[in-house]
Each structure stands twice: as structure tokens, then as C-alpha cells.
């Protein structure tokens, strides 16, 4: 049976969840938070009162290879845009998906095993199926009021006509232009 062990850390606002190094199960750990950094064996989750106002659930998960998981994000009130990121140990956040007003606006270089959606109430879900050990990561959800960029008009520079050569140049010279 694959089991994770939890115990309080030295700070009362955090919980540490760890698997022993000699754990017999090929487990996945999905750390789900806003400001914390996670690893595949040790996770610290900051106190939710310190976060950005985006609510993410569940905060921590331990899954076995091959299972699936759904991560949920509730954006700040009034925010129409939700963006998902994945941060693996020692790396910066990698863009996964962007949604605006229920529509997918962009998709990063994401495995087909990952999908996301945004609902009419602007909440969002990230779905991971057939989990692999390499999926162990910190998953981040960010929300924004901003509308994605739109091109309203084009500005261009007037370019003078090219220098005339050959017959056209001789004709212009003969006409005194």
C-alpha cells in the first residue's frame, strides 16, 4: 500500500509532507500551491493567508503512476483570465495553458495527457491523466483582470518610391523630373 506520512514542521503555519527515501511504491507527488517550492519528496506549503487571493485545491497530493488527477483554481473576484504553470524541482515555472472568459487563448508545449478548462464562473481545472514520475511538480494557477492583447490598428512608415533606373530614369530626366 502506498502511503505518505505527514507531520507538523517547526512553523505552525506550514505542513511538511514527506515520503521515506526507501519507500516501496513508485509514487508521484503533486505539490499544489502559490508561493511554495516543492520537490518529489518534501513539500512546504505557505500559509494561505499569505497567498495572492487565488484559491487552489487540493493543496497536496500523492498519487501512484498511471492514476489521474484534477487540480482546481478559483481566481480572484473579477478576474476573467486564468493561467496554469508547472514548476519542477530546480526549474522556473513553465507555461501550460491560458484561458480568458472561458476560451483557451494559448497552450504551451504540453503533453497530450494534460488538459484544462475554464467554466462560466471563471473557475478552472487542470486535468492530468496517466501520471508519470516526471509529472511530480508544483502546479501554479494565476489569475488576471487583463484582457489578452489585441491589435487595434497598424502603424507603418511611408517609404519613398525606389530610385528609378534604366529607361524609366532616362524618361524622367528627359521630362525634367
The predicted model gives 4-26 an average pLDDT of 32
- The full DSSP string for 48-62 is GGGS-S-EEE-SEEE
- The full DSSP string for 75-110 is PPTT--EEEEEEE-TTS--EEEEEEETTEEEEE-S-
Q: 22 or 96, which is more confident?
A: 96
d(CA 29, CA 10) in angstroms, rounded, equals 22
> Helix (H, G, I), strand (E, B), or coil: what is residue 161?
coil
Residue 149, pLDDT score: 59
- The superfamily (CATH) of domain 5-174 is Immunoglobulins (2.60.40.10)
Q: Tens digit of pLDDT for each residue in 70-81?
A: 999 999 999 999
d(CA 63, CA 30) in angstroms, rounded, equals 7
Q: How confident is the model at residue 173 (pLDDT cuts 50, 70, 90)?
A: low
Instruction: Provide the residue ranges of all domains of the chain, joining segments of one domain with +.
Output: 5-174
d(CA 74, CA 83) in angstroms, rounded, equals 11
In this model, does residue 3 exceed pLDDT 50? Answer: no
Is residue 45 exposed (0-12), middle (13-18) or buried (19+ Cβ within 10 Å)? Answer: buried
Residue 124 and residue 73 in contact, taking contact as beta carbons nearer than 8 Å? yes
The predicted model gives 88-106 an average pLDDT of 94
Q: Tens digit of pLDDT for each residue in 29-68?
A: 454 443 333 333 222 222 333 455 899 988 888 888 899 9
Q: How confident is the model at residue 139 (pLDDT cuts 50, 70, 90)?
A: very high
Q: 15 or 63, which is more confident?
A: 63
Amino acid at each position: 500500500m502506498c502511503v505518505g506520512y505527514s507531520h507538523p514542521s517547526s512553523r505552525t503555519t506550514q505542513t511538511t509532507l514527506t515520503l521515506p527515501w526507501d519507500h516501496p511504491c513508485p509514487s508521484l507527488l503533486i505539490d499544489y500551491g502559490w508561493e511554495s517550492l516543492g520537490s518529489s519528496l518534501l513539500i512546504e506549503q505557505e500559509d494561505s493567508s499569505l497567498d495572492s487571493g487565488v484559491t487552489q485545491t487540493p493543496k497536496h497530493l500523492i498519487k501512484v503512476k498511471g492514476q489521474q488527477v484534477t487540480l482546481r483554481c478559483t481566481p480572484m473576484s473579477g478576474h476573467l483570465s486564468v493561467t496554469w504553470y508547472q514548476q519542477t524541482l530546480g526549474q522556473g515555472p513553465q507555461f501550460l495553458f491560458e484561458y480568458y472568459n472561458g476560451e483557451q487563448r494559448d497552450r504551451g508545449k504540453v503533453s497530450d495527457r494534460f488538459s484544462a478548462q475554464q467554466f462560466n464562473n471563471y473557475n478552472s481545472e487542470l486535468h492530468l491523466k496517466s501520471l508519470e514520475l516526471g509529472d511530480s511538480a508544483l502546479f501554479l494557477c494565476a489569475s488576471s483582470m487583463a484582457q489578452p492583447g489585441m491589435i487595434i490598428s497598424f502603424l507603418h512608415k511611408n517609404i519613398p518610391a525606389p530610385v528609378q533606373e534604366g529607361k524609366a530614369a532616362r524618361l524622367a530626366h528627359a521630362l525634367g523630373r
